[in-house]
Every structure is written in structure tokens, then in C-alpha cells.
Amino acid sequence: MVIRPAIILLSLLFVGCTQNVKDNGEFTLLVFKHGKIAGDPELFTQLINRFERENPGIKVKDETLPASTDEQHQFYVINLEGRSADFDVLGLDVIWVPEFAKAGWLRDLSHLLPEDDKGDFFPGPVQAVSYESKIYAVPWYIDAGLLYYRKDLLEKYGFSPPETWQELIEVAQHITSRETRIYGFVWQGKQYEGLVCNVLEYLWGNGGDVLQDGVSVINSYENIYALQFMRDLIAKYKITPPLVTTVIEEQTRHIFGNGRALFMRNWPYAWNIFEREGSPVKGKVGVSILPSFSHKESASTLGGWQLGVNRYSRHSEAAERLIRFLTSQESQKTLAVTTGYKPTRMSLYRDKELIMKQPFMLSLYDVFMKARPRPVSPYYMMISQVIQPEFSAAISGIKTPEDALSSAHKQIEHILVP
């Protein structure tokens, strides 16, 4: 086996920040690894301080990982393969839990979600943190794909928010032919995980899927039609600019936020930014579920983050206390107000005080209830790496949808061979 120097260096850099952390004799020190917290970090620090006051025998060392989820995933894989005990609580992307559970890197947390409490969480996140009938993480906050639209322009021309993709095309063509310098519909089309999220919403929305009972079904007629439709948004209907094949969430948010697009697919985080003082679209934005194909149901890809416990942690009981605290109703409510993170607990969408402060949440309940996780498989990361370039080739016009999905199907079958 050849050990690459770059991997060794990366591992040393990641581990180095915590390898000298030891417990003080008077308290247990927990190390909590996670991605960057949105908004003012001091507000999250105040939440951690509250936990420490309520648990005087525990101190929390809050450590932020690189912004890229790929880098975060690599950090966890390198360290957990090495059985590192240098961190205790992990912030986990919704797609990682089955992989980490199969590898034996996460503690079984089924006891943290007994049936009476599990019923308060949206079903999608619960499905995403489950592996072989056990729970390996607790849902922390939730995301799902949404349709943003310029409600001022729809009202100006007498349109309602589109319920079908065909309606969206007709509205976009009508308005962009009369309004200058505005795109009809922007979404995330660069070759990365966000493209998978976008494409799945069309595949599912047309009755297709990637896996069924652990078997690849990605080259179905339904999927071919849906992927061709995405290409047609650019090449045939011309409501989506070709530049969409190079952009991610923030770039589409800037286009829409600067008044340059009529419709946009994005995650809930963008709403708070559009409503800030000085925003060119403040008060002009509406949000709805994604359109559907005719006689089909709308589909939205589940996003969000979960909290798990490192199997090699020396402080599993204290780590579970922190997870109970951060996923409690009170903490999720606090995070919703201070950072805009949307709660995974359904009961909070009936909380009058929270709804008064975050009225946008009322329109999200149905979206989150129906949001679907990406294929729940311990091999998902490998599958994603296979389908990203195939999807990209299809929407860019480099391959036909038939050829792209046929190639993806063969590669997925190879991955799934025992």
C-alpha cells in the first residue's frame, strides 16, 4: 500500500488542533466538531454557555471544520479510520450517516429517540439517520429545495405561483419577453453534490428514482424524460441561461437577489438574506413548493445536519447530553431565531411565538414533511461521485440523457456488487 505524503500532512493538520486536549480533573471536556454556524457566532456560543451552566461538570470545546462539506467528510474519514478519540460530537451531513454507521464509526443512539419523541421529528431526517433499524444520529436542523419567485412581477402580469413545470415555463417566457435583463429560472447546475439534489427533484417528481430495494433503476424512461426536460430548460425553452451549468447556491442567490431572475430553486437560508435592509428584492420575494410534472406530485430533496457521537469517544454519556440539549425544542427554537436554522421538530411549526418571529416557517412545514432523502445507502458517496459527471454531461448537452443514465446505471451496478 502506498501512503501519499499529502494525505499524511492533511491528517496531521486536522488532528493537530485537538491532539493535546486533555481533561481537567474537575470537569469533562467535550470536543464538538461541525461546519461553520450561520449568522453571528457569538449567539451560538451563548447557547453552548447555557449548556455548560446546566451541566456544570462538562465543558465544550467548539471547533469549526472547513466550509467545504467534501473537506469535512475527508476529515472525518481520515480520523475515524484511525480510531481517533480527539473529538466527541460530530456534525453530520444528512447523506453521511449510513456510510459512517456501516463503518462502525458512530454510536447507536436509538435510546435518544424513543418512539414518543421520534414522532416529533420530520420523517425524512429520521429515515436519513437510520441504518439497519437503528438510529445513529439525531436530526439537528433541516433543509429542502424551494421555489423562490418575484411576487411583484407575477402580480404585475397577473400570474399566480406556478404549480407545474409547464406553467413555470409559460410564465417565465411571458415575463422575460417584457422585462429586460432578467433570467427566467436559475438553479444549481455545476458538477457537485448540489447538482444531484436538483436533478433528483425532477427524477422523483416524474415518478423515477436512483435505487429501489438496493438495486439501480436510474436508467428508467421516467428519469430519461426528466433529465431531458432539465436540458430543455436551457436549450429549448431558453428560460434558464447556459451559465447555470457552472453555478452553485450562492451564485444563484446573488443573481436572484440582485433582481436578475424571475424564479430560483434554492434552500431556505436565502430568505433571511433577501429580507435584510438594503436588499434589492426586499419585500418582493415569494416562496412555494417546487412545481410538479402534470398529474404528478412535487418532490424536494432533503438537506440538513445531524448530530452523532464518535464511537471512540471517551465521554459518550456527556456527548449524548450535549446532543439532547442541542436537539431539544428550546435549543432548536433558539437556533431558528438566531441563525435561521429550521427545526427538525414538527411541533415548533405550531409555536406561536416562533411563527410570529419567523412567519416564513409556515410555508415550509408541508415542504419538509414531503422532503425525500437522497438514496439512503452506505455507498451513497460513491454513487454520487458516479452520477455527478453524468448528470452534468446531460444538462450541458455533451451526452444524451439516455447515454448518461445508461453509463450511470452500469457504474452503480458495479458499486453495489457484493
Domains of the chain, earliest start first? 10-143+302-370 (3.40.190.10), 146-299+379-416 (3.40.190.10)
pTM of the model: 0.86
Contact partners, residue 142, CB within 8 Å, separation at least 6: 122, 124, 125, 302, 303, 304, 342, 343, 344, 368, 371
Do 193 and 145 meet the contact criterion of CB atoms below 8 Å apart? no
**How would you classify the pairing of strands 261-266 and 183-186?**
parallel
Is pLDDT larger for residue 139 or for residue 17? 139
Print burial letters for 113-138: b (CB count within 10 Å at least 16), e (below 16). beeeebeebbbbbbebbbbeeebbbb
Give tens-digit pLDDT for 326-354.
999 999 999 998 888 999 999 999 999 99
Instruction: Tell me what the mean pLDDT of segment 9-17 comes to.
Output: 43
Residue 16: the pLDDT is 41
Residue 300 has pLDDT above 80, yes or no: yes
At 123, is the pLDDT very low, low, confident or very high (cuts 50, 70, 90)? very high
Instruction: Tell me what the mean pLDDT of segment 263-268 comes to.
Output: 96
Is pLDDT larger for residue 20 or for residue 305? 305
Residue 9 has pLDDT above 50, yes or no: no
Is pLDDT larger for residue 188 or for residue 38? 188
Terminal Cα-to-Cα distance of the chain (whole angstroms): 23
At 378, is the pLDDT very low, low, confident or very high (cuts 50, 70, 90)? very high
For a pLDDT cut of 70, what percent of the chain falls above it? 94
Residue 403: the pLDDT is 98
Residue 5 has pLDDT above 60, yes or no: no
Residue 67: the pLDDT is 78
Residue 4: the pLDDT is 45
Residue 7: the pLDDT is 43
Instruction: Tell me what the mean pLDDT of segment 66-92 comes to.
Output: 94
Contact partners, residue 250, CB within 8 Å, separation at least 6: none
